[in-house]
Chains A and B, each alone.
Chain A
Amino acid sequence: MSNPDYDLVIVGGGISGAAIAKTVVEQSAKNKKFPRILILEAGRATALSADKYDTYVEAYHEALIKVPNSPYPASASAPQPDVLDIRPLKDAHGKPKIGDQGYFVQKGPMPFGSDYARSLGGTTLHWLGTTLRMLPNDFRMNETYGRGVDWPIRYEDLKPYYERAEWDVIGVAADVDHQYYPGIEDDDPKKYFRSKNLEKFKNGVYHFPMEEIPSSYLDQYLAKHVDGMTITLPGMDRDEPDHEFTIRISNTPVARNSTPTTPDYKVVGAAGNADRGQRCEGNSSCIPICPVQAKYNALKTLYELIVRYPYQLKEGEKEGQRARVDIRSQCVATEVMHDDGKVTGLTYKTYYDDGFKPTDHTVTARTYVLAANAIENATLLLASNNAANRSDQVGRNLMDHPLLLTWGLLPENVGAYRGPGSTSGIPSFRDGDFRDARTAFRVEIGNWGWNFPENTPYTTVLDLVGGGEDGKAQFYGKALRKRLGEILPRQFRIAWELEQDPEARNRVTIDDRYRDALNKYRPVIEYDLSDYVKASLPWAAEASRQLFAQLGMAEKRRRPTYETGDYSHYDADDASVVQYEGETYCVRGAGHVVGTHRMGDDPTTSVVDSHQRSHDLPNLFIAGCGSMPTLGTSNPTLTMTALALRTGDKIAEELSK
């Protein structure tokens, strides 16, 4: 490999790849080194200009069924999972059945309930934007609770990278004083966030780059009624005492633009249209799309790279005087070629969608990064003659945050359907000694009524108007308008997001029978919940009952009637049904695809080291949520970004040698 095509090739134009590219460019520049970087993206580059981004918004408005991937069309050459493809994995006789109607081949026993986007910008196009850091014990689950595995790094190790992710890549809005987390030193958020960067943060007193996004009227209503209440949850048996939790509504750190906390911080607006999206305007559609890009997406970082470091040299410019970044979309990586303990090249197919045959390419580089999403990374490695898989952990330990939804009709108007998807949560259950017996969970308060569990407001309109066999409108005219005004603003829902523990049996594999239009392997997924996870379902349900009772919603109700009460219910024929101790629950995916190439110090039990470097192939980094050994209760994107910055530093250091 005397003359590689590039210094660095990155597979995947999402947040991880973008953050690594940006870091490598910026850190290398400090050593007067100017790398040439290629980013290969499987999906389309529809939205790298603001006017094209608007076509995504229009597609969302016109979509018949509005799901996270509605705005983002996929090609058969780079298909993507869709939550609409999730079906029960049982036939009419209750026998197990493979679900292969979508992109995923779901072998069950439960369907994997999450999706991701294969478009330039990746799944940050439709993430909610929650940017919670992990808690200290999340990094040492085995040491503290005898569960899962420990990370090779600790919270304090990752802290400086969290800070850079919050300031330099994502842009986070939050107030340190309003973070009420369990499991932190002296219950003091100031200590949890204390920075070692004394140059930037005087006396180490940390602050976020932007002021917190205001808590919704709903959050304020809840705080008035439940702040300080105690929720008591039963132990499993006589030996385990009851556990008590004090409820405190906590404003959530988010990747949404607001007012800078310091004049030095420059708010990053829409890609290609910086004046737009300077502040969150309350479009109430973070998922599936922020119409103004006030919420961070990776297009912003990618756009910055191609504008500042275009691959094409301008007239008079000479090679080696500045970094150069090349982004190629509709390029699907097909194999990581490796020999003698190192990667020797990468093959990919470029597709055209116009009837022209896909073309084959090979590219070489000094260093390679896979940052194509946890499931895509694993599939590619398995398809590459089992690359980087001496540990047999590639594809294993697939995790998500299974969500239990509970919802009810409040006695008063709380102004539902306004504001970002969530502005606050209840962190009380994120850590505690109960984690030796059952999983921790985070409570996300939803601002969009019953949109998630019941597809409202559609269903509420249909319930009231009626039709069908009878053919007669039940409510119409002024009575309909008034009744909707009485019901919709009172709709309330909570998501109880359960930490999933790593299990070798939850895995992605490949199978010759299942391939896509480019003849690339489709992910074959086996997925289930452990008893450790399931044991928290009755807890979440019980916590919900106590909370709902405090809010005056104790009565069980069901649509199509609308009266104050608890509307939570789980149907036994749902695709994601879970039976536990005689009770039926349904869980939803959180879109948090984690764990398929976990990091660790031991090459026999982990795929990458703490820098996300392959134990087996040292010039290969496998980056993203797949590297996380355990998940904690934080939405994983912020942690993934912090890890990407750490990886970027390492690559820059090596390329500078």
Chain B
Amino acid sequence: MNLRRDVFQAIADPTRRTILLLVASQSMTAGAIASNFDTARPTVSKHLQILTECELLTQEQQGREMYYHFNPKKMKEVADFIQPFQKMWDDRFNKLESIMKKHKK
């Protein structure tokens, strides 16, 4: 299983969600996207690679520059929303489990 190609894994990360919001408003180059973050440029490149692999972003060469576009079609695949809901409950129950394990005498 290649988790990187999973749309839900892709949007689970706050930096990647921010990138999606940035690119959704206008197509941008990797440099322009990276300039919005304090994180190192290779880290942003890694996020862009993951978003591209799962087709949330598409790349287009314009002259010397590579532009990233938002792919709304792929976003529609997230339409059943079950995975974030499941993740929320899983996080809660993991917490419950670890609290109650300590509670044991």
Partners in one complex: no
Question: Footprint of B on A, CB under 8 Å?
Answer: none
Question: Footprint of A on B, CB under 8 Å?
Answer: none
